[in-house]
Structure 1
Amino acid sequence: MEIRCSTTTAGSWSGDALVVGLFSGGASQATEALLGQRFGESLSQQLERRRFKGKAGETVSFSLLSQQPSSVVLVGLGEPAGFNSEQLRQATASGIKAATAAAASSIGIAMPLEGFAPAAAATAMAEATRLIQFTDQRFKGESDPKTQASSIELLGLPEGALSEAAAAVSSTGAMCSGVELARELVAAPPNVVTPAALADTAARIAGDFGLELKVLERSDCEALGMGSYLAVAQGSDLPPKFIHLTYRPQGTAERRLVLVGKGLTFDSGGYNLKTAGSQIEMMKYDMGGSAAVLGAMRAIAELKPAGVEVHMIVAACENMISGGAIHPGAIVKASNGKTIEINNTDAEGRLTLADALVYACKLEPDAVVDLATLTGACVIALGEEIAGLWSPNDGLADALRHAAEVGGENLWRMPLRASYRAGLKSGLADMKNTGPRPGGSITAALFLQDFVNGEIPWAHLDIAGTVWSDKGRGLDPAGATGFGVRTLVNWVCAGGPA
């Protein structure tokens, strides 16, 4: 699929389907008049019959016999005052979805771009255009027929900004490839995406883009004292894989950043077995954090940002039940020497992240960011469209929120309340792995903080609610969303910490 930037307007573009965004309340009179001149009064009459008002999310399609374009899609944008980059993405995605449903091969998109930087607008539209057309039919015997446009033109861009916008669109290919990789990893079944498969994915990225890869086996992790991580892995027949992937820029690296992703390729809950209604069959997506950091590294490797060295850490394993699985009540020692009483084997992600964060901090980075499908409590607090953000560092938190906003992802900063740490106290060990039910996502973040060097800026993103969508939302199809990739890539390419 080719995406091009063009100064051509909706009044003169020719192709299969024309997508036009219209504000409500008569705010797009000039555009409506232009369409009327081109397609005649019949279009206005059809609009009246279909009661199109230009409300946000409203979409109508018209077939035009013996004309080019042969199809027109009108997308409601709502009031002009509320039209921002997120609405631009959503409107573009809605229009593309309707146009491809009409089997259009070539599509022109005309949206009001006043007030937008041309490169930013082109990026938002290009990402929406590609990501909304993503389909995953790898595991179907017979693929569902689905049309994908072969060429897309972003219309009405200023002449003087055309080259800048085109360069921005070109870079979206790497970003979208990273998101699509993350979606494919999360969507694949747990008998396909295993710890070894995650290591193989890292190896392919390293081979394709010249990155460095180190994979620590169980014995290597034992030598490093990773008792917390290995306690989770010991119940599975599949060996754990501790994955360390590194991007080094050409020239001097002014910043060193570490991305850590939770890598539970399947989570049964262990002896605190997930029960009916717990969606145990969906626990393949408990490696959503690792998928996000792998997708981000794939994009970073292609974009080649200057001046920043990026490390990716994934402590991959399964949480299973067997005669060798860790017992509830067991005490283990992490690689920083802290002892942990495991009072719930279903709070396993933080145990793997504990040793991963200790390892990350030994790299002496300028910042560490971890992503994890960590707690159901975060889903209850923020729902399925917003990920939780915890960080004691204001600059890092603000930089991540800005990077998320640019990428069309949503973060909400949550408190790291020190007094809640009392819930993690153990009478036998240095700490327990879970606290009381109230504030569960906060105590989980506080647990992780104990394994981070306090002098290193650190942030934790709980993406439990955002990694999957049953019905699809925005740019995301039903299923895996690839959440987190755009935030991480935007943050890294901006240079890291604020």
Structure 2
Amino acid sequence: MQFRCLPQDLGNAIASWEGDGLVVGLFAEAKALGHQATTHQALVQRFGPELLERLEQRRFKAKPGASICIERLGAKPQTLILVGLGNEDQWDLDRLRQAGAAGAKAAVAAGVGQLGLALPTGEIPAEAAGQAMAEAVRLSLFQDQRFKSESEAPNLPSEVCLLGLGGDLKEINRALEAVDAICSGVELARELVAAPPNVATPQHLADTASQIAQDFGLQYQVLERADCQALGMGAFLGVTQGSDLPPKFIHLTYRPQGGSSRRVALVGKGLTFDSGGYNLKTAGSQIEMMKFDMGGSGAVLGAARAIGQLQPEGVEVHFIVASCENMVSGGAMHPGDILTASNGKTIEINNTDAEGRLTLADALVYACKLDLDAVVDLATLTGACLIALGEEIAGLWSSSDGLAAALLGAGDSSGEPLWRMPLRPSYKQGLKSSIADMKNTGPRPGGSITAALFLQDFVSPNLPWAHLDIAGTAWSDKGRGMDPAGATGFGVRTLVHWVCQGAAT
């Protein structure tokens, strides 16, 4: 699927487009002002006044994401798709993505080969609007059919033309050039997270990282169990005890050709399956879905693939994944065990199902030895974050106001909303242990906060650090916007945007 921009105003683009299909956005207000007047005039001029009568007949209210498809046999365009934009005063980048996704899905259903996308940009810069629309089209049409015996490849448009974008055509095309890398990273993350646990094993994650390194010139290193033992990674290795599959501690490094002025690390939780251990997940706890517990590592490897292709200047990036399974066996970690992490801190295990933070603890200690300017970790860490923020917003905890602001901005620009949560020191009382330095879980209230406070103990005190809890956003049962049902790849776009903007802190 190729994307290009045609430098026409919206009205002329609607009036002259001769491809197979045309998507036009309509606001909900019945007023003849601004874009609406231009769009209505162009539609009436091209398709006749009976088009508006048809919309009235079919009670099209132009609600956000709604669409109507009109076939015109023997004419060009053969397919006209009208997409609802909602109220004009609520128009923003997220609504633009939603409209692009809705139009693309309707176009594929109609078998459109060459698609014109005529959506308003309002106050959105043209290059940001173009990139957002292109990403929305590609990602909304993603289908994972790897594990079906009889799969049908979707009949995707061969070309998508973005119509009516003003601004500098050179800058728009530059933004469009990044779409393939970013979407490929998101798609990789989706495939990793969606793959069953007998496929997406720790070895598979290591092999994926190795392939990224080969394809894009990154440095690759994997630490085996003995290497982790030599580094004293008792927290990570404690989680691995119950599995027959060997753990893999993965470290990819991207170094820009012209040297770097900043060094950052992205750390992803890599539990390829989480049974809960001896605190076994029961019916209703979605144990069958625990393949998605490596959503953080999927995002980190997806970001590595995208950054390797984009080759941003001035930033050295380390991608770190401590990957393993959390299983039940005669050798598995017990409730009541005490583990010693690689920074010497001792941890009383009061819940074997709070294992992700144990793997991240040693991964963060490892990262902090790399002389970094910032470290960001991502994890499907707590059900408490899902309860607090739902399925569309990820939680953000950070020791640095500057880093938090940069990540919030990257999330907003990328369509991956984040909400900053408190790191209240008094909540650490809930992690106190009478026989070790800390417990691995606190009380149920504020569970996502105590989890973040636990991780903070394994980060160097003066190093800007942020933790993203993506438990609610890494998976969508029904699909939303440009995310299909299943794995979303959440976090890739935010990380790539942050790194490509210089990894500000």
Asked if Structure 1 and Structure 2 have the same fold, meaning a TM-score greater than 0.5 normalized by the shorter chain, the answer is yes
Residue 183 of structure 1 contacts residue 481 of structure 1 at CA under 8 Å; is this kept in 2? yes
Q: Kindly state the Cα deviation for residue 39 of structure 1 after the two structures are TM-superposed.
A: 1.0
Equivalent residue of 2:387, what SS? helix
User: Per-residue CA shift, 1:312-359, capped at 9, x if unaligned?
Assistant: 110000000111101110001000000000010000000000000000
What CA distance in whole angstroms lies between the structure 2 residues aligned with 1:270 and 1:113? 50
Q: Normalized against structure 1, the TM-score is what? A: 0.99
Q: Out of 110, 116, 134, which is 2:124 matched to?
A: 116
Residue 181 of structure 1 contacts residue 291 of structure 1 at CA under 8 Å; is this kept in 2? yes
Matched with 1:6 is: 6
- What code does the residue aligned with 1:36 have? V
Greater displacement, 54-63 / 358-367: 54-63
Unmatched segments (≥5 aa) in structure 2 = none
Q: Is residue 2:156 matched to residue 1:125?
A: no
What CA distance in whole angstroms lies between the structure 1 residues aligned with 2:63 and 2:281? 43
Equivalent residue of 1:10, what SS? helix
Matched with 2:115 is: 107
Q: Kindly state the Cα deviation for residue 374 of structure 1 after the two structures are TM-superposed.
A: 0.3
Residue 64 of structure 2 contacts residue 98 of structure 2 at CA under 8 Å; is this kept in 1? no
Matched with 1:306 is: 313
User: Per-residue CA shift, 1:165-196, capped at 9, x if unaligned?
Assistant: 11111111100000000000000000000000
Q: Is residue 2:40 matched to residue 1:36?
A: no
- What code does the residue aligned with 2:466 have? A
- What code does the residue aligned with 2:189 have? A
Matched with 1:176 is: 183
Equivalent residue of 2:15, what SS? coil
Equivalent residue of 1:436, what SS? coil
What CA distance in whole angstroms lies between the structure 1 residues aligned with 2:169 and 2:504? 31
What CA distance in whole angstroms lies between the structure 2 residues aligned with 1:112 and 1:290? 36
What CA distance in whole angstroms lies between the structure 2 residues aligned with 1:497 and 1:333? 33
Residue 56 of structure 1 contacts residue 76 of structure 1 at CA under 8 Å; is this kept in 2? yes
Q: Kindly state the Cα deviation for residue 77 of structure 1 after the two structures are TM-superposed.
A: 1.0
Matched with 1:47 is: 55
What CA distance in whole angstroms lies between the structure 1 residues aligned with 2:362 and 2:292? 21
Q: Out of 375, 379, 383, which is 1:372 matched to?
A: 379
Matched with 1:23 is: 27
Compute the RMSD of aligned alpha carbons.
0.9
User: Per-residue CA shift, 1:250-294, capped at 9, x if unaligned?
Assistant: 122100000000000000000000011000000000000000000
Equivalent residue of 1:11, what SS? helix
Residue 271 of structure 1 contacts residue 327 of structure 1 at CA under 8 Å; is this kept in 2? yes
Identity %: 68
Equivalent residue of 2:177, what SS? helix
4+ long deviations beyond 6 Å: none
Q: Is residue 2:58 matched to residue 1:58?
A: no
Q: Kindly state the Cα deviation for residue 22 of structure 1 after the two structures are TM-superposed.
A: 1.1
What CA distance in whole angstroms lies between the structure 1 residues aligned with 2:189 and 2:213? 16
Residue 132 of structure 1 contacts residue 475 of structure 1 at CA under 8 Å; is this kept in 2? yes
Q: Kindly state the Cα deviation for residue 416 of structure 1 after the two structures are TM-superposed.
A: 0.5
- What code does the residue aligned with 2:27 have? F
- What code does the residue aligned with 2:15 have? G
Q: Kindly state the Cα deviation for residue 61 of structure 1 after the two structures are TM-superposed.
A: 1.1
Greater displacement, 386-395 / 51-60: 51-60
Equivalent residue of 2:168, what SS? helix
Residue 116 of structure 2 contacts residue 161 of structure 2 at CA under 8 Å; is this kept in 1? yes
Equivalent residue of 1:438, what SS? coil
What CA distance in whole angstroms lies between the structure 2 residues aligned with 1:112 and 1:441? 39
Matched with 1:137 is: 145
What CA distance in whole angstroms lies between the structure 2 residues aligned with 1:233 and 1:300? 30
Q: Kindly state the Cα deviation for residue 42 of structure 1 after the two structures are TM-superposed.
A: 2.5
- What code does the residue aligned with 2:67 have? T
Matched with 1:357 is: 364
Spell out the pairing of 1:275-294 with structure 2 (5 A cutoff). Answer: 275-294=282-301
Q: Kindly state the Cα deviation for residue 57 of structure 1 after the two structures are TM-superposed.
A: 2.4
Q: Out of 428, 432, 443, which is 2:435 matched to?
A: 428
Greater displacement, 103-112 / 113-122: 113-122
Q: Is residue 2:82 matched to residue 1:74?
A: yes
Residue 424 of structure 1 contacts residue 433 of structure 1 at CA under 8 Å; is this kept in 2? yes
Q: Kindly state the Cα deviation for residue 116 of structure 1 after the two structures are TM-superposed.
A: 1.9
User: Per-residue CA shift, 1:143-181, capped at 9, x if unaligned?
Assistant: 1453211110000123x6112111111111100000000
Spell out the pairing of 1:407-422 with structure 2 (5 A cutoff). Answer: 407-422=414-429
What CA distance in whole angstroms lies between the structure 2 residues aligned with 1:116 and 1:280? 42
Greater displacement, 84-93 / 8-17: 8-17
Residue 366 of structure 1 contacts residue 497 of structure 1 at CA under 8 Å; is this kept in 2? no
- What code does the residue aligned with 2:23 have? V
User: Per-residue CA shift, 1:66-124, capped at 9, x if unaligned?
Assistant: 10101111111122211011111101111111111111111100011232211111011
Q: Kindly state the Cα deviation for residue 454 of structure 1 after the two structures are TM-superposed.
A: 0.8
Unmatched segments (≥5 aa) in structure 1 = none
User: Per-residue CA shift, 1:415-469, capped at 9, x if unaligned?
Assistant: 0010010000001000000001110000000000000001100000000000000
Residue 178 of structure 1 contacts residue 485 of structure 1 at CA under 8 Å; is this kept in 2? yes
Q: Kindly state the Cα deviation for residue 36 of structure 1 after the two structures are TM-superposed.
A: 0.9
- What code does the residue aligned with 1:139 have? F
Q: Kindly state the Cα deviation for residue 476 of structure 1 after the two structures are TM-superposed.
A: 0.2
What CA distance in whole angstroms lies between the structure 1 residues aligned with 2:142 and 2:5? 21
What CA distance in whole angstroms lies between the structure 2 residues aligned with 1:246 and 1:463? 23
Matched with 2:92 is: 84
- What code does the residue aligned with 1:6 have? L
